[in-house]
Amino acid sequence: MERECFEDQEVADLLNQHFIAIKVDREERPDVDGIYMSVCQALTGQGGWPLTIIMAPDKKPFFAGTYFPKHRKMGRMGLLELLTTLHQHWEKNRSEILKAGNEIVNILQRPKPPSGEGQIGEDLLKQAYLELENSYDPQYGGFGSAPKFPTPHKITFLLRYWQHFKEPKALAMVEKTLMSMWQGGIYDHLGYGFARYSTDQKWLVPHFEKMLYDNALLCTSYLEAYQCTGNQEFARIAEDILTYVMRDMMDKNGGFYSAEDADSEGVEGKFYVFTRKQVVEILGEEEGALFADFYHISSHGNFEHGTSILHLIGRNLEEYARVVNKTVENLSEVLKKGREKLYQVREARIHPYKDDKILTAWNGLMIAAFAKAARVLKQSKYAKVAEQGIAFIYEKLMGSNGRLLARYREGEAAHLAYLDDYAFLLMALIEVYETTCNDYYLQQAAILAKDMGELFGDRTEGGFYFYGNDGEELIARPKEIYDGAIPSGNSVAAFALQKLADMTEDRSFSDTAERLLGHFAGEVSRYAAGYTYFMMAVDYYLADNTKIVIVGDKEAADTKSMFDVINNCFLPSAAMRFYDRHSRENVEYKEIDHKATAYICKNFACQPPITNVEKLRNLLMKDDNKIN
């Protein structure tokens, strides 16, 4: 609509004559977007973007829709016709329009009826699993039909379900989905990173837009799958995602940009696709044909205008090596050099537009992924990136009054932060603490959690509102729990607060999380698979409260060995705390015989201290359930 309508002079003249046009960046103002999307869904039975709202001067809407062409097209009313009709109605029937607007607002503001009794128990986890199983695509992985979205928290929930219930099919669904997505065209095989979604069932043709949040959450999914399976492919894919983010999506001061557009030069996907002729010209006849065949780049193409999207669907490296009479090592080297050459050629093209605003919430997700990668992959460079990201937020996006802000761009920070910003940053601080064992991050997490409660908490019913009590007063103040492409702030808060409580032994955090879980239990039980991050919080709630305490010298070899053992295990329901041997804060956990000492505590009771690394490994492996 931007190019077709809003940049058109005729449309602009009509808008400016009778209306005040306001363009809202839904990523900067998700509060506004969420409320008026609810209006659109209530009035039309569906939603989507672009979102078109017509409202009275008091912000009360009376018309909602999504896309409108300039002129009537294929039975869809044109924007010029719509604006003219609405203006005429406004002039003739203003009282009726205002009445309709009031009725819509009254519906939005009406307290939700009780969602019914919901039980926070294993049955809820089993319900979510069965719903995912029913929608699972056994041929190509993923859930549902086209368009297919990655929705990484479905993956991370299934990993927890696999561990909790020892259900092998849950892990099988994860492995199939992760490999299928990587093989597909939704993954950028030259420059790395994942596109936002696939337009088809088999992950071949993406909507080429790359989002920071997708890549953050997918990186975490691949890292956790690597912890569970030991499959090096998952570790490599996670590293490639981080390579893409550091190269293309990272501000020089440590923040992360939001997205890269799907189109360049006005054509979607043009930057990413190649013809077979181009590949042969760049790589030479023999290697070009070998490369093109391997990545399914044909003379007729698999995309538009004879171009091809690189993909590996149905391709096996070992089998292809036998077909072309090469060793796997030799073939891998040829393909690697081919990717590098094509990448350099692609870099010379006109790039898609980069959305360089830095959003606190999405940065929180990315920082958490870098911090986890540092632990799981034993790469200190990722810890440095994570710490730089935290420093950026506290320097650029924290007001002098301690109030977090939501967006930074070109030297300006703006918009009071929302629940997602606080919850996602809280999760990032916890992850960075577990990686660095620097108490500063745990202290900041506790402060942030308390601020989150003060600003967003519903002290009467439980849960958190989306925008703060100090924010702009809108026509409604919603509480969101649905875990869509991005998990809800309430779901992430429920998980993070429980973990923070176990780390700090401040039970007020877990009390808040417990009330939140109970408040939404009835709502999520209607379709549990739509709330998979919430289910991760439920899984944590139902698990034994496991706390791992390490006492020692952080730089000593025996302490590092204990950290390596912990980080090699998939322990999603455990909280880790480190105390320096000289810490005055620690009066409960003592170092034994001047050796690094581990304490494993469950349900507030600790086993005898451990100084032997192998013994620690054996004890943790009982909980880990890793495939050997």
Q: Give all domains of the chain, ordered by start, each with its CATH number.
A: 2-109 (3.40.30.10), 125-228+259-355 (no CATH), 544-628 (3.40.30.10)
Please give the share of the chain, as a percent, with pLDDT higher than 90. Answer: 80
Residues 323-354 pLDDT 10s:
999 999 999 999 999 999 999 999 999 999 99
| Res 626: pLDDT | 60
Extract the tokens encoding 324: 């072309």
Q: Which of 593, 491, 469 is nearest to 536 (CA)?
A: 491
Helix, strand and coil percent figures for the chain, each rounded to 5: 50, 10, 35
Read off the pLDDT of each residue in 444-465 and give the average, rounded to a whole number.
97
| Res 628: pLDDT | 43
| Res 127: pLDDT | 97
| Structure-token match 């953050």, residue found | 216
pLDDT > 50? residue 488 = yes
pLDDT > 50? residue 162 = yes
φ/ψ bin of 213: left (φ > 0), alpha (ψ from -120 to 50), beta (otherwise): alpha
- DSSP symbols for 83-127: HHHHHHHHHH-HHHHHHHHHHHHHHHHSPPPP------SHHHHHH
How does 121-141 read in b/e, with b if 16+ C-beta sit within 10 Å? eeebbebbbebbeeebbeebb
| Res 8: pLDDT | 87
| Res 193: pLDDT | 98
Residues 397-435 pLDDT 10s:
999 899 999 999 999 999 999 999 999 999 999 999 999
pLDDT > 90? residue 45 = no
For the chain, the average pLDDT equals 93
| Res 320: pLDDT | 95
Extract the tokens encoding 261: 């557009």
- Compute how many other C-beta atoms are within 10 angstroms of the C-beta atom of residue 538: 26
* Number of residues that this document lists for the chain: 628
Q: Are the CB atoms for 41 and 47 separated by under 8 Å?
A: yes
Give the distance from CA 245 to its chain's centroid. Answer: 14
Reported as type and span, the H/E element at residue 510 is: helix 507-524
